[in-house]
Amino acid sequence: AALLAGAAAQAEIAPSDVAIADGALETPVADAPGDAERGKAWYADRGLGNCMTCHQNAALPEISFQGDVAPPLDGVGARYSEAELRAIVVNSKEVFGEQTFMPAFYRIDGLKIVRKESVGKPILDAQQVEDVVAYLKTLTD
């Protein structure tokens, strides 16, 4: 661990150690940078991001039946900074308030009767979070 200290800024941050401040999370949670192509896949994966269940996104016309319970994500990469997008994906509750309908994708605490196979696991892992954030940054219009 001492050897890694110099690279502390790049170390993976566990879900319970994430500290969102003022709706933003500057430090990436994964040790490698995000990849937008992979992020697009996680976005559309029903078992992972499943973002289109709630959000419309004109950049993915191949996905039919996009939901409308949440604001469209068109232009979201221009509206928010990377740190803000990361905070929203990691724990929307800390950005929009406890009552938000959006799940917290990188959180394991405070959940009730979670199914066995998901206990202690966030919906997205650290690298998937960074990948999705990288994808959201491409949604600039």
> Which one among 88, 90, 126, 134 touches ligand HEC, defined by CB under 6 A?
88
Q: Is the Cα dihedral 20, 22, 24, 27 positive or negative? A: negative
| Stretch of residues binding other proteins (CB under 8 A), selected from 3-11, 12-20, 21-29, 64-72 | 64-72
Binds ligand HEC by CB under 6 A, chosen from 49, 106, 134, 137 = 49
Q: Applying CB under 6 A, which of residues 36, 41, 59, 102 lies at the interface with ligand HEC? A: 102
CA distances from 90 to 5, 59, 63, 65, 95 (A): 24, 22, 24, 25, 10
11 binds, among ligand HEC, other proteins, none (CB under 5 to 8 A by kind): none
Please state the φ and ψ torsions of residue 124, each to the nearest 5 degrees.
Answer: -110, 145
d(CA 76, CA 42): 17
CA atoms within 13 A on the CB side of 26: 3
List contacts with ligand HEC (CB under 6 A). Answer: 43, 49-51, 53-55, 69-71, 73, 76, 79, 85, 88-89, 96, 100-103, 105, 132, 136
List contacts with other proteins (CB under 8 A). Answer: 52-54, 56-58, 60-61, 63-72, 74, 99, 101, 103-104, 111-116, 118, 121, 123
